[in-house]
Structure 1
Amino acid sequence: TISPMGVKQQGILINNMFPGPEIRAVTNDNLIINVFNELDEPFLISWAGIQNRKNSFQDGVYGTTCPIPPGKNYTYALQMKDQIGSFYYFPSLGFHKAAGGFGAIRISSRPKIPVPFPPPADEYTVLIGDWYKTNHKDLRAKLDNGGKLPLPDGILINGRGSGATLNIQPGKTYRLRISNVGLQNSLNFRIQNHMMKLVEVEGTHTIQNVFSSLDVHVGQSYSVLITANQPAKDYYMVVSSRFTPKVLTTTGVLHYSNSATPVYGPIPAAPASVA
């Protein structure tokens, strides 16, 4: 069981982890990943954004890949051919994604291949997504019977309903790899008193515009650079729902290494418009 929002519920763990372990690769790597299905129903993992050229049967969706029966395993052979960037994996059958089973994929550039920004001091994965306390089988039954999903119970940051923390050192620049691994809602990500420079979207380096907040739609992945150029204290890291009748919000902490002051003050407001 897992308790991301303080209520015990059935979760799907990968290698006993929620979220699952981050997969790190380099351009042109071949990855061999053996997935054992210990659930009581068929299971598949899909690799969002991984191209799998001439290899679509490895994509992990019903119709191109046969489901893995309970108690059995399947070995994926994935190609990172000519790819870089931020992606994630997730379970693609039976609404399993509502119980977890997701994790980040990071593909780094090969050595000596130019990257259009200086190397950051460190990189952090930030998995955000809406979340239900309801068992995924009950949610699935509701949809199968023609119903629709209610408003989620909350939002998770790296599998936590609150308290997710990123540790940084003053004066240094960091890369955040942000993915919306949720079920249905677009989310807005922002950090109190810090601007974000967008440098990559799902494997493509971008024009480097600077934003105070960023909308991340379901399935999207972005890389941004932030610089620790503010007074030494802790700052809110905020994720809120977009285009919902009731705005859901959760917070984490951006912690300066020399901070002696906890987060305080009003939470940064979400954008008031669609633009």
Structure 2
Amino acid sequence: MVASSTTGLLLGFFVIFGLVNVGVVVGEDPYRFFDWNVTYGDIYPLGVKQQGILINGQFPGPEIYSVTNDNLIINVHNSLPEPFLISWNGVQQRRNSYQDGVYGTTCPIPPGKNFTYTLQVKDQIGSFFYFPSLAFHKAAGGFGGIKILSRPRIPVPFPDPADDYTLLIGDWYTANHTKLKAILDHGHRLPLPDAILINGRGPNATTFTVEQGKTNRLRISNVGLQHTLNFRIQGHLMKLVEVEGTHTVQTTYESIDVHVGQSYSVLVTADQAPQDYYIAVSTRFTDRVLTNTAILHYSNSQRSVSGPIPGGPTIEIDWSVKQARSIRTNLTASGPRPNPQGSYHYGLVNISRTIQLESSAAQVDRKQRYAVNSVSFIPTDTPLKLADYFKIGGVFKVGSIADSPPHKNMYLDTSVLGADFRAFVEIVFQNRENIVQSWHIDGYAFWVVGMDGGVWTPASRDQYNLRDAISRSTTQVYPKSWTAIYVALDNVGMWNIRSEFWARQYLGQQFYLRVYSPVGSIRDEYPIPKNALLCGRAAGRPARPQ
């Protein structure tokens, strides 16, 4: 196994004018260039040879290091024998859903071909990750961390850390991703994973070196397939400072629940005796607890790691709910722009629409499927965004998923929900099942204004946090509970809303939100890229009118 690079392959860093492949002038924001080759290769995360997806020979893939407003030019060569796509979890791609990297917006990169993603991390900071979005590739690797630092003139609400580490944690199977996909294709559920990985490795295979008395930043992302993970460090407290691009009230925790698709930044001070300490990651809400460990190594350590692995919560729901409610936005901190990030008073904006989304699991044609508002999503031969752009009929229908649960038998459809540009909407995720769920919205950050047990009603709004709710792109919904969010629909495009439980996503628990503006201005949405891949019923058409 090859260790992950800290910065990826940085081919250049300089200022140019205009947005490559998009054709829109965006000023003098810096450009960073990456060239990635995606291959299969042998990996040994648990000491047994497996086939993994490597990027430039690395598992996990290279880290993307950037600064607010940077333009990222990422040339991806697909050397796999099948189509491939990469998506950017939490990176919002303002006005540019063509670069989202999910099949509803982007044609897959064919084997032996390449595609150059052009992203701008416009007005963003924080901790995110990328991952392969097609088929069940996510179970084979192909993921990596994304760091977006604040511009030097924008103050950060904590001193510069001595070091800045990325920890990619997630559940893992020793079975090949093709076998896992076949299990799902035959209508069955996946078994419990075999292990938890930390940066692609098994127990005590990863070491993070710190200096006595110094404070370090740890960016923790759950890149796994399904399970909530609890993160803790033997003998050390963690101060939460950032969640998916939002500076938080700086609360100290002994351990933190990280749900699938979520990212957190914590500060950890090396204030204990000079020795090595366990970093422990374990599954939550499972009958059998899976645990993995890494090592926090003091540079002046006088003793190897010892003692029992620190225990954490296991099945306690109330503990997790209490912690989730304690995570709030730091209203005194600056955001990526030179103004307080708390200056957007979301609680004073009138709601123009309420959307209630309810998950369900059922058999359709004697095969296991999952749905949102009774609709289990099926992909079409043409990405929805391209069908929309070229006005190709028969691919999808806006309104093919209802605003609220219809409480009817599950059925298959290519579900698309229409919404107006600049609307301010309330979305309620209702969970009637006995599992913790995790939901993500591409292209947006949203305010998590409330969560509680039972069934949501309009009276539930009385307990909303309308002042300093955390803003993020992935939220959990606890068993037999609801979670409510507010979203300002200020990003035109076709955006994926999905379960972050990857088997559920693959078997239909997703849909697309079409945020539409009739104006057609490049101020609202970038035109289709000149290098856009065209497939399905869009194949052979000119990307732009001649």
TM-score, normalisation: structure 2: 0.50
- Are 1:152 and 2:183 matched, yes or no? no
State the partner residue of 1:186: 228
CA deviation profile, 1:87-110 (whole Å, cap 9, x unmatched): 000000011010000000000000
- Are 1:226 and 2:268 matched, yes or no? yes
- Are 1:166 and 2:208 matched, yes or no? yes
- Tell me which of 293, 304, 307 is aligned to 1:251: 293
SS at match of 1:137: helix
- Tell me which of 191, 201, 208 is aligned to 2:243: 201
CA distance in 1 between partners of 2:226 and 2:188 (Å): 15
Q: Map 1:1-275 onto structure 2 (within 5 A).
A: 1-162=42-203, 163-272=205-314, 273-274=316-317, 275=319
Alpha-carbon offset, residue 174 of structure 1: 0.3
Q: Percent identity?
A: 71
CA distance in 1 between partners of 2:57 and 2:185 (Å): 29
CA distance in 1 between partners of 2:195 and 2:229 (Å): 11
CA distance in 2 between partners of 1:108 and 1:242 (Å): 31
What amino acid sits opposite 1:148 in the alignment?
Answer: R
CA deviation profile, 1:7-32 (whole Å, cap 9, x unmatched): 11110001110000000010000010
Alpha-carbon offset, residue 86 of structure 1: 0.2
CA distance in 2 between partners of 1:267 and 1:169 (Å): 22
SS at match of 1:140: helix
SS at match of 1:10: strand
What count of residue pairs does the alignment treat as equivalent?
Answer: 275
Alpha-carbon offset, residue 52 of structure 1: 0.5
Alpha-carbon offset, residue 131 of structure 1: 0.5
SS at match of 1:101: coil
CA distance in 2 between partners of 1:269 and 1:211 (Å): 14
CA deviation profile, 1:202-238 (whole Å, cap 9, x unmatched): 0000011100000001100000000000001000000
Higher relative contact order (CA 8 A, sep 6+): 1
SS at match of 2:94: coil
Alpha-carbon offset, residue 260 of structure 1: 2.0
TM-score, normalisation: structure 1: 0.99
CA distance in 2 between partners of 1:63 and 1:97 (Å): 17
CA deviation profile, 1:150-185 (whole Å, cap 9, x unmatched): 110000001101221100000000000000010010
**Structure 1 residues 161-170 or 191-200, which shifts more?**
161-170
Between structure 1 and structure 2, the one with the greater Rg is 2
CA deviation profile, 1:31-85 (whole Å, cap 9, x unmatched): 1000011111110000000110110110100110110111111000001000000
SS at match of 2:312: coil
CA distance in 2 between partners of 1:112 and 1:29 (Å): 15
Alpha-carbon offset, residue 192 of structure 1: 0.2
CA distance in 2 between partners of 1:9 and 1:257 (Å): 33
CA distance in 2 between partners of 1:192 and 1:112 (Å): 36
SS at match of 1:236: strand
CA distance in 2 between partners of 1:219 and 1:29 (Å): 23
Alpha-carbon offset, residue 244 of structure 1: 1.1
CA distance in 1 between partners of 2:148 and 2:62 (Å): 14
CA distance in 2 between partners of 1:150 and 1:12 (Å): 22
CA deviation profile, 1:131-164 (whole Å, cap 9, x unmatched): 0000000000101111111110000001101221
What amino acid sits opposite 2:224 in the alignment?
Answer: G
State the partner residue of 2:465: none
What amino acid sits opposite 2:296 in the alignment?
Answer: L
SS at match of 1:12: strand
What amino acid sits opposite 2:145 in the alignment?
Answer: A
What amino acid sits opposite 1:264 in the alignment?
Answer: S
Alpha-carbon offset, residue 270 of structure 1: 1.1
Alpha-carbon offset, residue 112 of structure 1: 1.6
What amino acid sits opposite 2:295 in the alignment?
Answer: V
